[in-house]
Amino acid sequence: MVPSFEELGLSEETLKVLARKGFEEPSPIQAKTIPAVLTGTQDIIGQAQTGTGKTAAFGLPMIELLAEKARHVQALVLAPTRELAIQVAEEIHSLKGKRQLNIIPIYGGQSIGLQLQHLRRGANIVVGTPGRVLDHLRRKSLKLDKIEFMVLDEADEMLNMGFLEDVKSIMDQTNDTKRIMLFSATMPKEILAIAKTYMGDYQIVKVTEGALTVSQTDQIYFEVRHSDKFEALCRIIDVEEGFYGLVFCRTKNDVDEISNHLVERGYDADGLHGDKTQPLREKILNRFKKKVVTILVATDVAARGIDVNDLTHVINYALPQDPEAYVHRIGRTGRAGKEGNAITFVTPSEYSKLMTIRKRAKTDIRKGTLPQVKDVIRMKRAKIKNDVESILADRPQHSYFNLAKELLDLADPTEALAALLQTAYGDELDESKYVEIDQRRFVDKRGKTRLFVTQGKNSGMDVNKLITLIKSLSDLESHQIKDIEIHDKFSFVTLPFHEAETVLSHFKGRRRVKGAFVTKAKEDGRRSKESGRRSRDGDGRSREGDRHSNKRAPGKKQEKRGRMG
């Protein structure tokens, strides 16, 4: 049984923050890591997949244990990319509540002057990419001799991106009394070597991967901005005949808001989450099973124990936190030999998370197009007609006959019937009353991928040549090719997600095109062997030589003294 946040030893202040964010129970990696950090003195090696809540796993206990208003850096978190550094910093900031802790992200691509200004004001937790952290160490603008925690997030990705030497150089400039937390999806020998060299007595916290299996459910994702999600949900419900489904949200607040809005629009909906009393939960579930309520909005925790075989839809209003939760959700439809549909709403910032889920679950989630207003109205017209035909087949109640004759005496029969329909259905067939969802605007905002190119200035590569190469392999226009960086031996470029996949397809089997080889930089962080032995941070900065002279001899284990408990 998964423990509650209250059982992990977190303070009342932190529990209030988690309640406000709507988090109901810890993920497996959080349940194992948080008490180990709070009550122990060992270093931590955490093995868990991306998207399993690792940031809160190390962020929450750090927030609990760090002193407020300190003028020096107390914790350093290293992340392989600028995107992850920003994400981690924002998440830790959202978890700190009223505590006076300054969390500063530092990464390549952001003004170094702005970062210097923030660091001078005082930073308690620094989240950065290895290259930019080294920049500040060399400038003496960042000191790590008094830190209490050092976190290596996505350690295997840092290895793949050539950061190993940078990480070692950074660790060489930290104090011996810190606690180290290393998180990685895999544990290659190079990562284990870091543990043996730099970590003292450590505890391994591992979340095992179960075999993920998905049903034969048709899985679709829709590209939707957050502000359009509710309208998109209504569209899906409206165009599906006999909709009967679960709508999954991340927090209790979202459940209340969405279920209330659905009821206001006239849908047979209700919400279910952990704050509902047991008698009320049973009443709501009973109404749902009897189809008095046909739309149940719920959190993952509240939906446990719901055993309904004839659901037509499961809708992920918000992406789950891990692939296991996704598989568990969609497994609730398509049961007992019946067809089911699993629909997921994805915002631009969630693209990489969706790809992680798809890869881990080994399943196909196809892209769909949201129904247009005309499609919704067509379905509503058909439903009204079917309802009327059903009543005619069963014969209308005699009590309405006299009223019908009176209405027909007032106007032309067609006008009288139209007036009656308007009274019953209001503006449901008026196109002007619907909010249009312009999915075309999503194209430029959706997920992007950073690509690594094995040619640079030394090979004659320049901005124009790289643009020409990319355009020859795709249908992209020049303005869609962003953030080009040309270094001596390699280059970087950012492309829209799907177009990047098209470009990469030309390099399957490591085939060169016009002398260059291209691979992903952001999505999996891997660099080709042609890039040489240089490391880079998330913004593609070259790290040619210039290592510190105080490297620890290989195999020398760091001694721990007076470590914080």
Task: Write the CATH number for 495.
Answer: 3.30.70.330
Which amino acid makes up residue 488?
D
Q: Are 318 and 248 in contact (CB under 8 A)?
A: yes
Alpha helices in 66-163 (DSSP H): 82-95, 112-121, 130-139, 155-160
Give the highest mean pLDDT range of 13-27, 122-136, 492-506, 544-558: 122-136
Which pLDDT score, from 0 to 100, does residue 215 have? Answer: 59
What percentage of the chain carries pLDDT values higher than 90? 32
Which pLDDT score, from 0 to 100, does residue 120 have? Answer: 92
Which pLDDT score, from 0 to 100, does residue 558 have? Answer: 40
Query: In the predicted model, is pLDDT for residue 526 greater than 70?
Result: no
Better-predicted residue by pLDDT, 51 or 94: 94
Query: In the predicted model, is pLDDT for residue 27 greater than 80?
Result: yes
Quick check: is 298 in a domain? yes
Alpha helices in 240-372 (DSSP H): 252-264, 278-289, 300-303, 323-330, 351-361
Query: In the predicted model, is pLDDT for residue 391 greater than 60?
Result: yes
Better-predicted residue by pLDDT, 202 or 300: 202
Query: In the predicted model, is pLDDT for residue 510 greater than 60?
Result: no
Query: In the predicted model, is pLDDT for residue 159 greater than 90?
Result: no
Which pLDDT score, from 0 to 100, does residue 539 have? Answer: 42
User: Can you tell me whether residue 45 is helix, strand or coil?
Assistant: strand
Domain-terminating residue out of 344, 370, 396: 370
Which pLDDT score, from 0 to 100, does residue 10 have? Answer: 94
Quick check: is 52 in a domain? yes
Which pLDDT score, from 0 to 100, does residue 551 have? Answer: 38
Confidence class for position 528, pLDDT limits 50, 70, 90: very low
Segment 299-309 mean pLDDT: 71
Which pLDDT score, from 0 to 100, does residue 221 have? Answer: 92
Q: Which two tokens stand for residue 318?
A: 């918000």
User: Can you tell me whether residue 346 is helix, strand or coil?
Assistant: strand
Pair 503, 424 in one domain: no
Lowest mean pLDDT among 148-162, 206-220, 332-346, 460-474: 206-220
Q: Which two tokens stand for residue 44?
A: 């931590």
Quick check: is 550 in a domain? no
Query: In the predicted model, is pLDDT for residue 6 greater than 60?
Result: yes
Phi-psi region of 408 (alpha: psi -120 to 50; beta: other; left: phi over 0): alpha
Query: In the predicted model, is pLDDT for residue 498 greater than 80?
Result: no
Query: In the predicted model, is pLDDT for residue 381 greater than 50?
Result: yes
Query: In the predicted model, is pLDDT for residue 561 greater than 80?
Result: no
Structural domain total, the chain = 4
Which pLDDT score, from 0 to 100, does residue 154 have? Answer: 87
Segment 12-18 mean pLDDT: 92
Confidence class for position 439, pLDDT limits 50, 70, 90: low
Pair 382, 336 in one domain: no
Cα separation of 17 and 177, whole Å? 30
Pair 273, 359 in one domain: yes
Query: In the predicted model, is pLDDT for residue 213 greater than 50?
Result: yes
Pair 128, 49 in one domain: yes
Cα separation of 15 and 5, whole Å? 7
Task: Report the candidate in 351, 349, 329, 348 with the shortest Cα–Cα distance to residue 340.
Answer: 329
Pair 234, 201 in one domain: no
Better-predicted residue by pLDDT, 123 or 277: 123
User: Can you tell me whether residue 51 is helix, strand or coil?
Assistant: coil
CATH code of the domain containing 329: 3.40.50.300
Query: In the predicted model, is pLDDT for residue 461 greater than 70?
Result: yes
Pair 351, 410 in one domain: no
Using CB atoms within 10 Å of the CB of residue 523, give its burial: 0 to 12 exposed, 13 to 18 middle, 19+ buried. Answer: buried
Which pLDDT score, from 0 to 100, does residue 44 have? Answer: 94
Which pLDDT score, from 0 to 100, does residue 532 have? Answer: 37
Using CB atoms within 10 Å of the CB of residue 19, give its burial: 0 to 12 exposed, 13 to 18 middle, 19+ buried. Answer: middle
Query: In the predicted model, is pLDDT for residue 69 greater than 70?
Result: yes
Pair 140, 223 in one domain: no
Q: Cβ neighbours of residue 433 under 8 Å, at least 6 residues apart?
A: 427
Angle at 205 between CA 201 and CA 64, to 5 degrees: 80
Better-predicted residue by pLDDT, 560 or 305: 305
Quick check: is 545 in a domain? no
Query: In the predicted model, is pLDDT for residue 556 greater than 50?
Result: no
Segment 263-284 mean pLDDT: 88
Which pLDDT score, from 0 to 100, does residue 520 have? Answer: 64
Which pLDDT score, from 0 to 100, does residue 543 have? Answer: 37
Cα 254 to its chain centre, rounded Å, is: 16
Segment 264-277 mean pLDDT: 89
Query: In the predicted model, is pLDDT for residue 524 greater than 60?
Result: no
Quick check: is 565 in a domain? no
Pair 245, 358 in one domain: yes
Query: In the predicted model, is pLDDT for residue 49 greater than 90?
Result: no
Domain-terminating residue out of 403, 433, 463: 433
Which pLDDT score, from 0 to 100, does residue 536 have? Answer: 40
Cα separation of 155 and 139, whole Å? 25
Q: Which domain holds residue 453?
A: 447-531
Pair 365, 378 in one domain: no
Segment 235-245 mean pLDDT: 89
Total residue count of the chain as it appears in this document: 565
The chain-wide mean pLDDT, for the chain, equals 81
Segment 510-534 mean pLDDT: 49
Quick check: is 114 in a domain? yes
Please report the DSSP string for 15-41 in residue order.
Answer: HHHHHHHT--S--HHHHHHHHHHHH--
Give the highest mean pLDDT range of 431-440, 494-503, 541-550: 494-503
Task: Read off the DSSP letter of residue 370.
Answer: P
Pair 463, 384 in one domain: no
Cα separation of 288 and 295, whole Å? 8
Query: In the predicted model, is pLDDT for residue 304 greater than 70?
Result: no
Pair 474, 504 in one domain: yes
What contacts 24+ positions apart, CB below 8 Å, involve 478-486?
A: 480/444, 482/448, 483/109, 483/450, 485/539, 485/540, 486/456, 486/457, 486/461, 486/462
Q: Which two tokens stand for residue 138?
A: 């060399």
Quick check: is 548 in a domain? no
Query: In the predicted model, is pLDDT for residue 542 greater than 50?
Result: no
Better-predicted residue by pLDDT, 456 or 304: 456
Q: Which two tokens stand for residue 457?
A: 């200035």
Quick check: is 556 in a domain? no
Domain-terminating residue out of 206, 238, 258: 206
Lowest mean pLDDT among 266-270, 288-292, 395-399, 522-526: 522-526
Pair 118, 185 in one domain: yes
